[in-house]
Amino acid sequence: MAAGSNSLELVVLGLLKEQDMHGYELKKRMTESLGLIMHVSWGSLYPALARLEAKGAVKAVEARLAAPSVPMTGSLGGERAVFRSSSDGLRGSRNKKVYGITDLGSALFSEMLNNDSEIDEKGFAVRLAFANHMDSKMRLKMLNERRDLILERVKSSRRNIEKKRFALEPYVELVLEHFRSTNSSDLAWIEELIAKEESSIQNSGTDLLVSQKIKDSI
């Protein structure tokens, strides 16, 4: 019922905030620009869109007529085909269904972005990727929560290992050591971000990374 920490819906809304898109385009965009961060399958993308549509967060809109997908040749047949077999009047050529974000969807996006916590690795990365839609205070809060979580995780692991009621197999120790090292550099990175964020708050309220144009839509 509650939003939960659904990073997929967050990403979909975040991308639709930039531009109307259909499912295939969304997935392409995700794997192209966020491919290192997350991965999405058809089996979760289309149900997610259906969910968001049912909630009223997105709605089908008329297909954009501008440059469908690198047409190369200028045959204008596409434009005519857009309004072909439209049972609902909104299916474009190739049966495309283009989605746009609604005001409710925008509100939901902000809510998920700002109010979700207890998020995992992927959820954090996704939230941070859209952090230009937060204000400085919120970014700082998120970064601090993440720092504490990693810190606690590493400490807990160290505590458990040092109890050593069992013999660790040699490769387990190898892997753990690497994970600890990864966590350390994650930690250093986050603390760097926190420092930047704090200094940018002190130097008047101007954000370093957020342009004024985007800021007003927070």
Binding site for DNA (CB under 7 A): 4, 6-9, 22-25, 28, 39-44, 46-51, 68-73, 75, 77-78, 81, 84, 93-98, 120
DSSP codes of every residue in 75-111: -THHHHHTTSS-SSS-B-GGG-BEEEE-HHHHHHHHH
Read off the tokens for 107.
């509100």
Query: Judged by CB under 8 A, how many residues of this single chain contact a second copy?
Result: 44
Q: Which lies closer to DNA via its Cβ, residue 75 or residue 212?
A: 75
Residue 153 contact among DNA, a second copy, none, beta carbon within 5 to 8 Å by kind: a second copy
Number of H helices, E strands in the chain: 9, 3
Residue 94 contact among DNA, a second copy, none, beta carbon within 5 to 8 Å by kind: DNA
**CA nearest neighbour of 146 among 127, 169, 162, 130:** 127
CB of 85 within 8 A of CB of 105? no
Residue 148 contact among DNA, a second copy, none, beta carbon within 5 to 8 Å by kind: none
**Residues in 108-137 at the binding interface with a second copy, rule: CB under 8 A:** 125, 128-132
Phi/psi-derived region of residue 67, left when phi > 0, alpha when psi is between -120 and 50, beta in every other case: left
Shortest CB 135 distance to DNA, Å: 26
Shortest CB 78 distance to DNA, Å: 5
